[in-house]
Structure 1
Amino acid sequence: MSTKVSLQRTLGLSLTIGIIVLWLLGVAAAGLVARYKMNDVFDSALEETAQRILPLAVTEILNRENDTGPQRAPMLKAHDEYLTYLVRKPSGEILLQSHDVEPELFSPLPREGFSDTATHRFYGASAVSGTIYIEVAEPLAHRRAAVLETSLALLIPLLLLIPVSLLGVWWLIRRSLRRVVMLQQSIEARGGGDLSSVYVARLPQEFEPVVNAVNHLLERLRRTLEAERSFTANSAHELRTPLASALAKLQRLQAKTQDEQVRVQAEEIEGSLRTLARLSEKLLELAKAEGGSALAENDTDLVPILRMIVSDYQHKASGHLKLDVPDTPVMSLLDSDAFAILIRNLIDNALKHGARQQPITISLTDKGVLRVVNAGEVVPPEKLALVRRRFVRSDTKSLGSGIGLAIVDAIASGAGIELSLRSPASGQRDGFEAELNIVVTRTDS
């Protein structure tokens, strides 16, 4: 599971959730305020209705010629009656009622003021010295429906406002962080050997110290690496001339001397000088691998180069090299000189550390997968993890400088290629295998 956290995603989700929660809280608060105000309005309507109907009811009751019992107010037109009322005596006897009233909902005796039951809200008033009472009832469900409709009226616009707000938030975040994204892409597009300064115009103020610190670190690292490579290259170059001169003088001494013991010692010294000469050549190759670009401007067919190098080694290996290459070209941006250094070091490594008189297989597929396989003892995992380092050898008995695979690894890293080392080799019980895909294509950033 990836542990990477996107700044855009984090800000987007946080602001989105925050806006939604704030909108919903706002609607809830508005609904509560609306409910409180609507209850005041409904109570006022109950009170006003009672006070307007009561005088009319009193006049109608007092003008009756005889007591004819409870009467029902006439209905002029069919309609839903949200407010119902009863006009009663203090004893509870009904004198007048609305056409759609349910008397059983009212209390047995009339009361003044506001009161509630589980289903209704009531308001009562009296007239004629407390001899006539009126009570007006309103269903609480009516009030709840009104509050719900009001809340929905506030919530429905959010169905449009929330998506618009979210789109605005994401657009604003992407616009605000686009320079940061450009910085990220600029760094990601760099190769491992690109130590030039990072620059993106108009970065947010919070990121400028980070970029300045990174550029300062890159500059220090570049100077350090250049000094190391320059020292390695200059040291190796300066050694070549005195070593060649010493070898020439030693060979002349061998030709002139008649003393067998002196000749044997001279041969030992010559071997040491040749080892030192090979080491200086390897140091030059290492400096070039680490300092120069491993990529060329144009694609090159690497098959002829591989054939030529293997042909040169056939004389040293007494025919033990087996080459398997495709008939079709294998095009790559890998620099031809860098490829030559890479394949020579892989073959040298196989010759020096592989089992003698056993074949060394060098294969290249049409997909660009290069393998160099040799027989020999299995390299323990702990040593296999270290052989890419400079001056590290898996077999201390074999001749070698211990930087061959370090040179190969440096070229592979510079070209963006992954070098895979295995022991035992694939499909074998022993041996050593080096594998890498030499096809490098141009990528447009």
Structure 2
Amino acid sequence: MKSWSLASHIVAGVVAIVFGGLVLLSVSIAAFTRHEVTERLDNSLQEVSERLGFIVSMQFRQDQVQGGVALPPGLDRDALGYQITDLAGHIVLRSQNAPPTVLVAPLTPGFFDRPHFRVFVALSAARTHYILVAEPVLHRQEAIRRAIMISVLPMILIMPAIWLLVRWTVRRALRPLVDLQREIGSRGGANLEPIPSLNLPDEAAPIHKAVNSLLDRLRKALSTERMFATNAAHELRNPIAALMAQAQVLYEDLRDSGYAVRLDSVVGQTRRISRTTEKLLQLSRATSGASPRGMQFDLVEIILVLTDEFQDIIPPGRRLVVDSGALDHLYILGDVDTAGILFRNLIENAIHHGMSNTDIKLSILANGQVEIVNACEIIPASVLDRLAEPFVRGASSAEGSGLGLSIAHNIVTQSGYQMELLSPVPDQVSGFMARITFPVFTAVLFSDQEEPREDA
């Protein structure tokens, strides 16, 4: 599903509505401005024609020479032009910027649009001449354009400011929701505390209340589950140990009888119950969130101790090979016991589910990574993604409870490390790899120095 941002949607919607409203307002203002400017300019033409008409009635004679041209000083090409004609349409007098031919034919009072002029025609007061007042179209268009720009341009220029203000306002209004999201995201198996008051709006307050109610129920359920697993494992530990001891003694006493096979099965199943009980105790500790950090210890030493321990129980034909390269020590921050449980489970997983007559390779890298590789068939991606869940197993027929990788995953999560489960192994066609990455470490190469040094 494609992700989307509520803030972006609100900002885009509000800005689109504001922008659309401003566009409509701008178009309306532009149309109104054009109408008003045109009306004012037409009134100016009419006023000039009335004045010329009065002057013509007072001073022009019927026998005046036709075709005269008035030459006023400093005439602007955008200035109004005029033509004065007799009733027959012959030009009696015209301005310098008026054409030598009559602008309107036949002569009729009113407004007319010509290619280069807007013309108003009127009769003189004495009704002996026609007065034609012409305004250049370029001047009129420039006046309308400037009037529209003065009205519309501020709206266009203010759009970025509107966008920034809307964006700031929306993000400020949604900040409590972002805080709520951050608080919810920080909750997990190790932190199920109620979310504190965040000064949320009324619309988000029910969400805050519902999440806190859910966290409370989840905390109680997990607490009950962990308590049951821990108590059950503790209560079973001693009886199982006693049962194991008695079964082994009985097996030694009756190993030469016909009950030896059955007693061997009893001892095997009792040992399996003991291992499962131990795994439940480890899982309870791993999921409790009590993983102390801040103590520095040598991981290489821990792994070497575990390796020596497993050499006695690894099946014949298989070896546990540790490759530390040029490293003498790898100091990390964490808890020694927790790290021991982590790698014990990873090594047991590799032993139980690896192919026979193959080596298990444990590599300690200078970049703070530890890789455990065992040979096996390719694990499908659908199964690989769920291997870290409790009681989930691959297609292997080996004995196991399906808790080892889940315990390792919980320890890694609680300790702030990273774990990758890969199948096939990189650059190979099969196999399984568990890679643990430690974010804070100090690597020391083989040397005689006593104190660890920071790796550059």
Sort the TM-score into its range (normalised by shorter chain).
0.7 to 0.9
SS in 2 for 1:363: strand
Q: Is 1:270 equivalent to 2:267 in the alignment?
A: yes
2-structure distance, mates of 1:153, 1:31: 10
Per-residue displacement from partner, 1:53-79 (whole Å, max 9, x unpaired)?
1121122113x8x54334333514444
User: CA separation in 2, counterparts of 1:3 and 1:286?
Assistant: 36
Indicate the residue corresponding to 1:181 in structure 2: 178
Residue of structure 1 in register with 2:52 after alignment: 53
The within-5 A match list for 1:278-357 is 278-294=275-291, 296-317=293-314, 320-325=319-324, 327=327, 329-357=329-357
Match of 1:19 in 2: 18
Equivalent residue letter for 1:228: E
Identity over aligned residues, as a percent?
31
CA contact (8 A) 1:233 1:283 kept: yes
* Alpha-carbon distance, 1:439 to partner: 3.4
TM-score scaled by structure 1? 0.86
SS at structure 2 position matched to 1:419: strand
Q: Which residue of 2 aligns with 1:361?
A: 361
How far off is 1:286 after superposition?
1.4
- Offset of 1:109 from its aligned partner? 3.9
Within 1, Cα distance between the matches of 2:385 and 2:5? 34
Deviates more, 1:187-196 or 1:92-101: 187-196
Offset at 1:365? Answer: 0.9
Cα separation, 1, equivalents of 2:394 and 2:26: 73
Scaled by the length of structure 2, the TM-score of the pair is: 0.84
Is 1:246 equivalent to 2:223 in the alignment?
A: no
> How far apart are 1:199 and its partner, in Å?
3.0
Separation in 2, partners of 1:363, 1:175 = 50
Matched length: 438
Query: Partner residue of 1:103?
Result: 100
| Rounded Cα–Cα distance in structure 2 between residues aligned with 1:192 and 1:231 | 16
Please state how far the C-alpha of 1:90 moved relative to its aligned partner.
1.4
Superposed CA offset, 1:307-337 (max 9, x none): 2222222232379221122525434444332
Aligned equivalents of 2:306, 2:255: Cα separation in 1: 40
CA-atom RMSD, angstroms?
3.1
CA distance in 2, matches of 1:55, 1:377: 111
1:371-417 deviation per Cα after TM superposition (whole angstroms, max 9, x unaligned): 21223555566655554443444466433333222222332343455
Whether contact under 8 Å (1:321, 1:362) holds in the other structure is: yes
- Going from structure 1 to structure 2, the CA distance change for 1:266 and 1:139 (only over 3 Å counts) comes to same
Q: Which runs of 5+ in 1 are unaligned?
A: none
Given that residues 294 and 334 in structure 2 are in contact (C-alpha distance below 8 angstroms), is that contact kept between their aligned partners in structure 1? no
Structure richer in helix, relative to its length: 1
- 1: CA distance, partners of 2:396 / 2:134: 106
Partner Cα separation in structure 2 for residue 195 and residue 61 of structure 1: 104
Instruction: List gaps (5 residues or longer) in structure 2.
Output: 442-456
On the 8 A contact 1:191/1:414 being kept in 2, the answer is: no
Asked whether the 8 Å contact 2:56–2:129 carries over to 1, the reply is no
What's 2:203 paired with?
A: 206
SS for the counterpart of 1:68 is coil
**Aligned residue number for residue 117 of structure 2:** 120
Secondary structure of the corresponding residue to residue 122 of structure 1: strand
Whole-angstrom distance in 2 between the partners of 1:380 and 1:160:
59
Q: Cα distance 1:54–1:373, how it changes in 2: closer, same or farther (>3 A)? A: same
Query: Which residue pairs with 1:414 in the alignment?
Result: 414
Q: Which amino acid aligns with 2:258?
A: Q
How far apart in 1 are the matches of 2:47 and 2:389?
97
The offset of 1:115, in angstroms, is 2.7
Instruction: Tell me what 1:137 maps to.
Output: 134
